[in-house]
Amino acid sequence: MRWFFVSFPFILFIAACATKDPNFGFVRTVTFSSFQTFDYENTLISGIDIEVSEVMMLEKLSETTLTAAFQDNGFVENEADHDFSVVAKWRKAVSSYPDIFDSIDGPRESIDRRVDPSFRFASRYHLIVEVFETSSDDVFWRKELPNIFDATQLTEERIIDSLNRAVENFPNRVEKDPNLLDFH
């Protein structure tokens, strides 16, 4: 019985880590097999002290990286007639003590940086990628990456890595078998 009281907190900790919400996924049910085309709609940028060069870099890299990612998944870009739209939202804000799993650098580097006094309150970038179904204009996919990296660490590589992380579990295009019956 004594081992139970000693091991219970450890088991609870392991269970909490295993069920950590990764802040992503389908937020509503959609018929995914009908999606063939997409359009990169917009990059929204908000927050404190954002330089014009940062805005230009975030806009350019968001569009090119996400467009390439969806094309790699088998979808065709089509501005005029598309099945879904993609929006990237960047926010630069002051936050304190981000979760060790938030950073693009991983938990080990986050733990190592916690001894640095500037780590407590720092300006950090947050990323949200949303995918909207065109017919209903409703969000069906959302990935939120809070505190993805410190504002002082802004580089093209970190932006691209963050955007790729935001869509890494987005499903590939479903190829329809023309021999299957279509039930409505």
pLDDT, tens digit (0-9, with 9 covering 90-100), for 61-107: 999 999 999 999 999 999 889 999 999 999 998 877 656 556 666 66
Q: Tell me what percent of the chain is helix, strand and coil, each rounded to the nearest 5.
A: 35, 30, 35
**In this predicted model, what pLDDT tens digit does every residue of 106-157 receive, in sequence order?**
666 655 555 565 556 778 899 999 999 998 889 999 999 988 888 888 999 9
How far is residue 146's CA from residue 127's CA, in Å, rounded to a whole number?
Answer: 6
Distance in angstroms (rounded) separating the CA atoms of residues 54 and 156: 10
How high is the pLDDT of residue 79? 87
Bridge partners of 125, per DSSP, are: 92, 149
Full-model pTM: 0.75
Structure tokens at 155: 């580089």
**Residue 44: strand pairing partners:** 89
Q: How far is CA 96 from CA 116, 128, 162, in A?
A: 12, 19, 20
Cα–Cα dist 77/53, whole Å? 27
CB 10 within 8 A of CB 56: no
**CA-atom Rg of the chain in angstroms:** 20
